């Protein structure tokens, strides 16, 4: 069994869950090859990326092209590169000309990359494609799998399901044609089944797993009164409400500091909000950090804040990895009641749950945890138990691999 992983960019700082998954497959002896549609843009990467043994192939767009025998007699234009790629694919897949109707409605760049990927599938003996996010990576995987007559699966996460930019008919095709579709919460399964009915019948939930050997549990008994949040600085993370909650904590005379790890489009707006509340001595935006340092910050914090919201554009989180990591490490969490979060933050048991966009309730919950070591210990212990049961990457990746087996696959060859 040789699996091709298809992603939009590789590597990406925020997509440690993909790296965890690939490493778990490799530890089990599965042969993985990574296909990325774009090169990386990030300037910081997690250390564990260096542990991945899988080779990476970057699929070029038509404007970049590549020299092929069929191109020698053509002028080097995007159209000529596209034509040459079809001819090159035909040398590996002779029936490709009969299959091109399947690409109707797809962007030319998607078709071009799918043709190239189909050749790579045959040359490298790939038996199954798995894509992450139901966006362009899955568009390419869907076509390439059809061209090469192998099955594909994909994992849908959050923005690729909920954002207002999602094209329902495009997503419906991918749900229908995949041998199985994985998503990361029961909430997302229910949402897709409600929206797409029978076309979502193959959707099932497999939680994103973590390597628990890297996440050593530590009771949060004696910790400085520090609040930590780790996320991209974007609307759906709800950080404006965290700043408002911190302003309330200061008014109430609660001793605390707050660190926010990450980068994003809203950084300047957040800095302005912090300054307007005169909270510069209480809240610090510290930018992105390597994973090892993030774990240390988590284990030094008294509470992890996850004030996530549903954005104006419909965008929302599935199950944020940073929240799960904090639970695994023993940092008690306050989180909002959106999407799949109630599946893991059970109020008063594995964490404290508050309504989204309610800064007062958020501040009250934070204050409870900052001032009660007994409550922190109880929530942390219960949270770790849940993570060990539901989020072990070794177990969850093994379940995923069963879906890559030939007996569990269907191939669209019509």
Joined tokens for residue 93 = 């897949």
Q: Give the Cβ contact number of residue 97 at 10 Å.
A: 12
Q: What is the pLDDT of residue 77?
A: 63
Q: What is the rounded radius of gyration, in angstroms, for the C-alpha atoms of the chain?
A: 23
Q: 67 or 58: whose pLDDT is higher?
A: 58
pLDDT attached to residue 14: 82
Q: Is the pLDDT of residue 303 over 90?
A: yes
Q: Where are the domains of the chain?
A: 2-209+393-408, 212-390
Closest-CA residue to 28 (of 185, 205, 216, 211): 211
pLDDT exceeds 50 at position 71: no
What are 226-269's pLDDT values in tens digits?
Answer: 999 999 999 999 999 999 999 999 999 999 999 999 999 999 99
- pLDDT class for 72, splitting at 50, 70, 90? very low
Three-state helix/strand/coil letters over 10-36: CCCCCCHHHHHHHHHHHHCCCEEEEEE
Question: How confident is the model at residue 317, as a pLDDT?
Answer: 93
Q: What is the pLDDT of residue 80?
A: 73
CATH code at 2-209+393-408: 3.40.50.2000
Helix (H) or strand (E) segment spanning residue 156: strand 152-156
The rounded percent of the chain whose pLDDT value lies above 90 is 86
Nearest partner of 143 among 96, 190, 209, 180, judged by Cα: 96
Poorest-pLDDT segment among 6-20, 186-200, 375-389: 6-20
Contact present, 256 and 282 (Cβ < 8 Å):
yes
User: Which of 59, 65, 68 has its CA nearest to residue 10?
Assistant: 59
The pLDDT score that the predictor gives to residue 408 is: 66
Task: Please check the confidence at residue 24 and state whether its pLDDT lies above 70.
Answer: yes
In this structure, what token pair is assigned to residue 23? 């490493």
Confidence class for position 411, pLDDT limits 50, 70, 90? low
Burial of 271 per CB tally in 10 Å (0-12, 13-18, 19+): middle
- Cα–Cα separations (whole angstroms), residue 18 to 23, 25, 154, 181, 366: 9, 11, 12, 16, 31
Residue 59 has what DSSP assignment? Answer: P
Report the CATH number of the 212-390 domain. 3.40.50.2000
Distance CA 58, CA 8 (A): 10
Residue that wins the pLDDT comparison between 387 and 84: 387
pLDDT recorded at residue 64: 54
Same fold, 2-209+393-408 and 212-390: yes
Taking residues 183-206, what's their average pLDDT? 98
Q: Average pLDDT, whole number, for the chain?
A: 93
Residues comprising the chain, all counted: 414
238 near 350, Cβ under 8 Å? no
Q: How far apart are CA 198 and CA 51, in angstroms?
A: 40
Verdict on whether the full-model pTM lies above 0.85 = yes
Evaluate if residue 18 carries a pLDDT over 80: yes
Instruction: Give the tens place of pLDDT for each residue, 201-220.
Output: 999 999 999 999 999 999 99
């Amino acid at each position: 069994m040789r699996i091709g992983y298809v992603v939009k960019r590789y590597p990406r700082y925020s997509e440690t869950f993909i790296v965890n998954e690939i490493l778990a497959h490799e530890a089990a002896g599965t042969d993985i090859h990574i296909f990325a549609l774009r090169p990386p843009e990030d300037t910081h990467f997690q250390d564990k990326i260096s542990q991945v043994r899988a080779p990476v192939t970057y699929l070029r767009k038509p404007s970049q092209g590549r020299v092929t025998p069929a191109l020698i007699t053509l002028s080097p234009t995007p159209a000529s590169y596209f034509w040459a790629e079809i001819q090159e694919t035909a040398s590996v897949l002779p029936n490709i000309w009969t299959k091109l109707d399947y690409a109707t409605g797809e962007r030319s760049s998607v078709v071009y990359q799918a043709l190239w990927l189909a050749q790579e599938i045959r040359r490298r003996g790939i038996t199954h494609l798995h894509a992450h996010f139901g966006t362009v990576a899955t568009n390419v995987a869907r076509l390439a799998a059809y061209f090469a007559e192998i099955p594909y699966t994909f994992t849908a996460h959050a923005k690729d399901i909920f954002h207002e930019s999602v094209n329902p008919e495009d997503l419906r095709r991918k749900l229908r044609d995949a041998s199985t579709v994985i998503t990361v919460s029961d909430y997302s399964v229910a949402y897709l089944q409600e929206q797409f009915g029978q076309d979502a019948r193959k959707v099932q939930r497999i939680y994103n797993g973590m390597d628990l050997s890297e996440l050593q549990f530590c009771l949060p008994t004696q910790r400085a009164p520090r609040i930590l949040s780790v996320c991209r600085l974007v609307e759906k993370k709800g950080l404006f409400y965290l700043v408002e909650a911190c302003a309330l904590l200061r008014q109430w005379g609660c001793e605390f500091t707050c660190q926010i790890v990450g980068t994003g489009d809203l950084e300047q707006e957040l800095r302005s909000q912090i300054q307007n509340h005169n909270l510069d001595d209480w809240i610090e935006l510290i930018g992105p950090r390597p994973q090892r340092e993030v774990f240390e910050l988590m284990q030094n914090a008294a509470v992890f804040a996850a004030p996530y919201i549903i954005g104006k554009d419909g965008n929302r989180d599935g199950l944020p990895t940073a929240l799960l990591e904090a639970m695994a490490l023993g940092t008690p969490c306050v989180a909002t009641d959106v999407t799949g979060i109630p599946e893991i933050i059970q109020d008063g048991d594995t964490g404290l749950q508050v309504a989204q966009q309610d800064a007062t309730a958020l501040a009250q919950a934070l204050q409870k945890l900052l001032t009660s070591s007994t409550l922190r210990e109880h929530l942390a212990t219960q949270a770790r138990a849940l993570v060990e049961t539901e989020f072990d990457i070794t177990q969850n990746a093994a379940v995923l691999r069963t879906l890559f087996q030939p007996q569990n696959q269907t191939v669209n060859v019509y």
